[in-house]
Chains A and B, each alone.
Chain A
């Protein structure tokens, strides 16, 4: 973990209530895709934990959804604004687990999968990615994803891609994979872990600190209590007690 001051380079709307923010600065502390950052938003007491969507040596992208007052304020921040940020939080994804990876994103859970695609691409692997959402308006940045992965889209209302949820879509698609990486709504991850135990899930939680001090985000696992912010946010699908 490191406390850094990052500068906003871009903050644009890319979908319904979904924004893409690029920040520059010393982000060398980030080691793995799937880590998150805790950003300070003026006038709000707690920092906001936000998944790192993708990163380079000196920049990060945050793909975030406006859900409350804090993220609404964040969406109005102008280019050049400096943000106090804790980086290098959480364990992130372990890409060594898959030879034939399947990536699964539900809604805004697509965010960390951009960086995960990049990591696999560096290994010469173009992963398969199932990306589901409620409706066509909730699906973003498809062409960028298609440059990194073999993308299969699905929507609950059938307005784009396969008509159904990600689990129905996977069941229907005959995908060859040995391990999956999933991020999305709690229910999606719960049913996914029941249907397919051979993978990992990235969880979210309301956090106090984001670095293991307060026990505000501890979940129950088959190996005892674990903190989403410290031992997670990525857990083996079969260890989480949903």
Chain B
């Protein structure tokens, strides 16, 4: 009998599979398709203090092995997320979730985190300091170690929940960023967010994305994600959530070899709404094939 359980920040997850923020809405709509209680957890759509419409359309451009998105953190604001979206989700998903928080200022981040303190539905905060699609914030906090350190320090002062810092791959030295947020008190790190990219319309010669640039995700970034998870795992003591281009159970195993304790599935949800279900169902078969009894044994490589 294969054991898929993972202990992460003193909580036991029935399996390591979590739909990544921004690719699963607020989760409850997927319960029309299958019983989402099989999921390890859910990282909900990035939430800000106030409601945001986000960027102008088009927000999506296709790429080989992935897509570029520039949604711009569209969300109804933290109050409605806590009072409406999480209430709807609670009816169809019994476990706790991860609340992804975005912002433009330290104040916006800390106020949003404070609001989530009051929700029992929230297990941990995923601090999004890596969104490439909002101006004057988001990724600006995630590309300079000192800025990231200051933000995480302030957020830690007010948060009653564990803080998972989501790192951007758009940096020269990912290890430096990881060490900075660890020393500021981050409880865990999730990585990687999207890589900044762009596409042009062949006929008009203009960028496809209205916001010009966007975040590239999908299988194309998978090797980059593996490398960064591996490097960070070597350098920090806090646990990692790995993500970036994961499409199947084999990818999950590799991501765990690289050092991830939990694995988020992102873009694959957009082309296959059953992606997480399929991966969770395939994992025991793949473990058997590879002679893995306990999934938690392979975090950071096979012993």
Are A and B associated in one complex? yes
Tell me the dominant secondary structure on chain A's binding face: loop
B279 to chain A, nearest CB (A): 16
Within 8 Å of chain A (Cβ to Cβ): is B50? no
A216 lies within 8 A of B60 (CB): yes
Closest to B219 in A: A45
Instruction: Give bound CA distance, A216 to B57, whole Å.
Output: 8
Enumerate chain A residues within 8 angstroms of B63, measured Cβ to Cβ.
45
Within 8 Å of chain A (Cβ to Cβ): is B273? yes
Enumerate chain B residues within 8 angstroms of A206, measured Cβ to Cβ.
57-61, 208
Return the contact of A214 from the options B33, B60, B218 (Cβ within 8 A). B60
Within 8 Å of chain B (Cβ to Cβ): is A1? yes
Within 8 Å of chain B (Cβ to Cβ): is A158? no
Q: Mark A19-55, 1 if CB is under 8 A from B, else 0.
A: 0000000000000000000001000111100000000
Instruction: Give bound CA distance, A206 to B199, whole Å.
Output: 14
A151 to chain B, nearest CB (A): 31
B204 to chain A, nearest CB (A): 13
A35 to chain B, nearest CB (A): 15
Within 8 Å of chain B (Cβ to Cβ): is A208? yes
For window 167-183 of chain A, which residues contact chain B by CB distance below 8 Å? none
Closest to B57 in A: A205
How many residues in A have their beta carbons less than 8 Å from beta carbons of B? 26
Given A205-B58, A206-B60, A217-B57, A47 and B271 touching (CB < 8 A)? yes
Instruction: Give bound CA distance, A220 to B269, whole Å.
Output: 25
Q: Which of A205, A209, A212 has the most CB of B within 10 A?
A: A209
A44 lies within 8 A of B62 (CB): yes
Number of A-B contacts (CB under 8 A): 89
A214 lies within 8 A of B274 (CB): no
B23 lies within 8 A of A214 (CB): yes
Q: Mark B37-80, 1 if CB is under 8 A from A, else 0.
A: 00000000100000001100111111111110101001000000
Within 8 Å of chain B (Cβ to Cβ): is A135? no
Enumerate chain A residues within 8 angstroms of B25, measured Cβ to Cβ.
212-215
A3 lies within 8 A of B273 (CB): yes
Closest to A38 in B: B271
Instruction: Give bound CA distance, A14 to B22, whole Å.
Output: 40
Given A216-B69, A225-B74, A86 and B273 touching (CB < 8 A)? yes
B60 lies within 8 A of A207 (CB): yes
Enumerate chain A residues within 8 angstroms of B218, measured Cβ to Cβ.
45
Instruction: Give bound CA distance, A212 to B74, whole Å.
Output: 12
Given A213-B24, A214-B23, A215-B74, A45 and B66 touching (CB < 8 A)? yes
A46 lies within 8 A of B57 (CB): no
Enumerate chain A residues within 8 angstroms of B64, measured Cβ to Cβ.
45
A45 lies within 8 A of B273 (CB): no
For window 155-211 of chain A, which residues contact chain B by CB distance below 8 Å? 205-209, 211
Enumerate chain B residues within 8 angstroms of A47, measured Cβ to Cβ.
271
Enumerate chain B residues within 8 angstroms of A213, measured Cβ to Cβ.
23-25, 29-30, 269-270, 273
A208 lies within 8 A of B69 (CB): yes
Within 8 Å of chain B (Cβ to Cβ): is A218? yes
B33 to chain A, nearest CB (A): 7
16 contacts between A and B (CB under 8 A): A1-B273, A45-B63, A45-B67, A46-B62, A46-B270, A206-B57, A206-B61, A208-B67, A209-B270, A213-B25, A213-B30, A213-B273, A214-B69, A215-B45, A215-B59, A216-B59
Known: A3-B274, A205-B58. 15 other contacts (CB 8 A): A1-B33, A45-B63, A46-B270, A206-B59, A208-B67, A209-B269, A209-B273, A211-B273, A213-B273, A214-B23, A214-B69, A215-B22, A215-B25, A217-B60, A218-B74
A-binding residues in B (CB < 8 A): 22-25, 29-30, 32-33, 45, 53-54, 57-67, 69, 71, 74, 208, 218-219, 269-274
